[in-house]
Structure 1
Amino acid sequence: MMSAIARSGRRMPVAPFLFLLRFVCVSAWVLLGLATELVVFPALSRRRRRQIVGAWSRGLLWLCGVRVRRLGEPVKRGAVLWVANHVSWVDIFVLNGVRTTSFVAKSDIRRWPVIGLLVAWAGTLFIDRRSRHAVRTAGRQMRTCFERGEAVGLFPEGTTTDGADVLPFHAGLFDAAVRAGVPTQPVALRFLKRGRRAPELAFVGEQTLVANLWFLLGARGVTVECIFLAPIPAQDAPVRGELARRAHAAIRAAVRGE
């Protein structure tokens, strides 16, 4: 573990005992979640499964020592596309804790140790970017979720960042919301440690999952600000490029505190 942390090139936290305590608790919580998926979920309705995923996500964040500060008003009912900047693997669980959401994510995430299983369990829609029809297939899956009145989550940067700024958005998957006529709500995520921006908590670059867990689970005073911005009605941005541009501008301004 120490070599993995050293390779990350970041400063180590000062609470190794706290890391160990949280790691044991989180590991047990993860095993409970996987067991629930295998044993309990087959007998439950989709609605009940989604309720459990939401509660489990809130529990995971609590055990990780992550406090979520919600700002703004999320769309809690009916179909909606939540569009957010991407900082860490915990982003999915932060948003799931507010409203259980089906996320669109690159298929590589499915192969991540443990995390891949968890995000799959949380209802993630995986997209294989090597496929010519990837966007079309993902769009169909998104429209199915919209028809059920569900929320779909999208990280249109296509990768994680340190959270200081927002990369350009890929506009392709915005088309599903335009075609379905559902609103798009921009969401800005900001990671703080003791009230200050904390780029060291981002899961970015060549950092390993082990190193990221070390920084996250060994830290005190971690807060994720989850800022829900004004929804954009489908009729206000009938072209996917315009919708992506407006969502990007809103999130970037909130992330940068403008």
Structure 2
Amino acid sequence: MTKLRIAWVLVALFVVTLVLLPFQLIGLAFDLKMRRRIPRYWHKSACWLLGIRIHVHGRLETRRPLMLASNHVSWKDILVLGAVADVVFIAKAEVAKWPIFGPLARLQKSIFVVREEKRRTGEQVNEIAARMNAGEIVVLFPEGTTSDGNRLMEVKSSLFGAAAAAAPHTAEKLVHVQPVAIAYTRVHGMAMGRFHRPIAAWPGDIEMLPHLLGVLKEGALDVDVALGEAIDFRAGDNRKHLSQKVTSRMRRMLIRHLRGREYDAA
């Protein structure tokens, strides 16, 4: 039954992709607004097929420009956040070359950054600012890597350079940064403790294919997505202060959900 289920999920996801692909290609070719919405349908379908149940706490900030700063547990975070809102991700340039995930990231028009090449910083920042000014919600994973799902890794203030550099180029000279905490909390309806959380997490030393097969075999994960109060980051503000505020709120929300406490968005 497990093999049949895995085969059914893969075939169904392939069919969904084939149905949505032509519309997304047209949207990308003519820069239509539907290119922002179609990926959300795909992510919702993928989560449903994989058995990922999403529980949202709090509200998405309505003001723009908006950047979401989220902890990073797994590649599934992309599916989860992509199902919650019409978002675009900031990703490392090498992601574009990954099998499967690379083409999907390009189809969603992710913003690929080359952190080592300072000569391209201005070009990349301009793209981030332009996308946010156009009303797109940009997602940043400030840890810079994935965790084991039990804690928040060190948040790199340097990664908030995108917000710091983009703020002066936005209409109101500010960027709204909303902290987000993603917590995988249950498997098959049972509380997921520290021992079982690696089922959901994807630390960098674990190969993709075995991990993907493990998720497909489980077929029932619950994830809590906590949306905190947005922080107004203005041109000239200190990005280290922003990093500290975001880190504090992300850690507080993450701990509350991992411990099963009700989250109060206020």
TM-score normalised by the chain length of structure 1: 0.85
The 5 Å alignment of 1:197-216 reads 197=193, 198-216=197-215
Count of aligned positions: 244
User: What residue number does 1:29 align with?
Assistant: 16
Shift of 1:81: 0.8
Specify the SS of the correspondent of 1:172.
Answer: helix
Specify the SS of the correspondent of 2:61.
Answer: coil
Please state if 1:188 is matched with 2:178: no
Please state if 1:53 is matched with 2:7: no
Specify the SS of the correspondent of 2:151.
Answer: coil
The 5 Å alignment of 1:77-92 reads 77-92=63-78
> Could you tell me how far apart the structure 1 residues matched to 2:28 and 2:151 are?
41
> Could you tell me how far apart the structure 1 residues matched to 2:236 and 2:61 are?
18
Shift of 1:134: 4.9
Shift of 1:235: 4.9
Deviation string 1:229-253 (CA, Å, 9 cap, x unpaired) is 1111225992111101110111112
Shift of 1:33: 4.3
Aligned partners of 1:65 and 1:222 also within 8 Å: yes
* Greater mean alpha carbon deviation, residues 72-81 or residues 168-177: 168-177
* Greater mean alpha carbon deviation, residues 169-178 or residues 198-207: 169-178
Shift of 1:45: 4.6
* Greater mean alpha carbon deviation, residues 175-184 or residues 151-160: 175-184
Deviation string 1:30-53 (CA, Å, 9 cap, x unpaired) is 344444444x33565531111112
> Could you tell me how far apart the structure 2 residues matched to 1:135 and 1:42 are?
24
The 5 Å alignment of 1:1-258 reads 15-38=2-25, 40-42=26-28, 45-178=31-164, 179=167, 180-192=173-185, 193=187, 194=189, 195-197=191-193, 198-235=197-234, 238-257=237-256
User: What residue number does 2:262 align with?
Assistant: none
Tell me how large the CA RMSD over aligned residues is: 2.4
Shift of 1:18: 2.4
Aligned partners of 1:92 and 1:119 also within 8 Å: no
Tell me which amino acid in the other structure corresponds to 1:132: K
Cα gap change, 1:200 to 1:44, in 2 (>3 Å): same
Aligned partners of 1:201 and 1:215 also within 8 Å: no
> Could you tell me how far apart the structure 2 residues matched to 1:89 and 1:251 are?
19
* Greater mean alpha carbon deviation, residues 159-168 or residues 19-28: 19-28
Tell me which amino acid in the other structure corresponds to 1:137: E
> Could you tell me how far apart the structure 1 residues matched to 2:146 and 2:162 are?
23
Shift of 1:214: 0.6
Greater RCO, 1 or 2 (C-alpha within 8 Å, sep 6+) = 1
Tell me which amino acid in the other structure corresponds to 1:190: A
Cα gap change, 1:134 to 1:61, in 2 (>3 Å): farther
Aligned partners of 1:86 and 1:157 also within 8 Å: yes
Tell me which amino acid in the other structure corresponds to 2:217: G
> Could you tell me how far apart the structure 2 residues matched to 1:117 and 1:145 are?
20
Deviation string 1:198-252 (CA, Å, 9 cap, x unpaired) is 2222222322221121111111321121110111122599211110111011111
* Greater mean alpha carbon deviation, residues 213-222 or residues 174-183: 174-183
TM-score normalised by the chain length of structure 2: 0.82
Tell me which amino acid in the other structure corresponds to 1:18: R
> Could you tell me how far apart the structure 1 residues matched to 2:162 and 2:117 are?
18
Aligned partners of 2:56 and 2:224 also within 8 Å: yes
> Could you tell me how far apart the structure 2 residues matched to 1:117 and 1:54 are?
16
Aligned partners of 1:80 and 1:183 also within 8 Å: yes
Aligned partners of 1:82 and 1:151 also within 8 Å: yes
* Greater mean alpha carbon deviation, residues 146-155 or residues 204-213: 204-213
Shift of 1:158: 0.8
